Structure 1
Amino acid sequence: MINEYQYIVDWEPADRVFVARVTEFPSLAAHGDSQEEALREIRGVVEEVIADLNATGEPVPEPLCLRQYSGKLNLRMPPDLHRRLAVEADRKGVSLNQFINMKLVQ
């Protein structure tokens, strides 16, 4: 299961190390002198945390790649922004939904 989580490795110039994080466990981080070492370290930490969660009967976060999404999103926005977007969508000859999707993909 640890292979299915989303890992990110960044260079931290202040500490001069690579820091790896896992999106599904935002409080976890590990570092290393190389990207590979940082990734190896965080994967080990995740493995230990999952074992601890399983041992105590706590829920283990589901990997993002396994989550199901409906494709529907309810979004609140200020009325003036709603109006501006609707006008712009109308000018382009598309629905507001299509227009917002186009904007999000950019």
Structure 2
Amino acid sequence: MIDHQHYTYRITWSEDDGEFVALCAEFPSLSHLASDQAAALKGLTKLVKQVVEDMIANGEHVPIPLADKSYSGKFQVRIPPEQHRNLAIQAAEQGVSINRLVSAKLA
């Protein structure tokens, strides 16, 4: 059973609405507005719980929380050959691998 509390929640101020808005990365179409951050989060977690229960009841695919997934630490990125060449040169000049150089740039 998926725990709705494991989803990735974020609360931010909405200038347009004049309230805090809670968002969930795994359910980008859902949000909840409230006058304070705690109420926004509470409202959205309740909504997400209801949606997950509904999806399960209807036999729909329920997203796995990002926090519950395993990550290998590897991903592949396609870049233009000239950019690849420039990164290789930078790495050589710094005496590191391209992987270490790009990892440092991403950090």
TM-score tier, shorter chain, comes to: over 0.9
Code of the aligned partner of 1:92: Q
> How high is the TM-score relative to the length of structure 2?
0.94
> How high is the TM-score relative to the length of structure 1?
0.95
What is the Cα deviation at residue 71 of structure 1? 1.7
Task: Tell me what 2:67 maps to.
Answer: 65
Q: Unaligned regions of 5+ residues in structure 1, if any?
A: none
2 CA distance for matches of 1:29 and 1:14? 14
What is the Cα deviation at residue 69 of structure 1? 1.4
What is the Cα deviation at residue 48 of structure 1? 0.7
What is the Cα deviation at residue 34 of structure 1? 0.2
Task: Tell me what 2:45 maps to.
Answer: 43
Is 1:53–2:55 an aligned residue pair?
A: yes
Task: Tell me what 1:84 maps to.
Answer: 86
1 CA distance for matches of 2:24 and 2:87? 35
Cα RMSD, aligned residues only: 0.8
Number of residue-to-residue matches in the alignment: 105
2 CA distance for matches of 1:47 and 1:35? 18
Code of the aligned partner of 2:38: E
Percent identity reads 41
Higher relative contact order (CA 8 A, sep 6+): 2
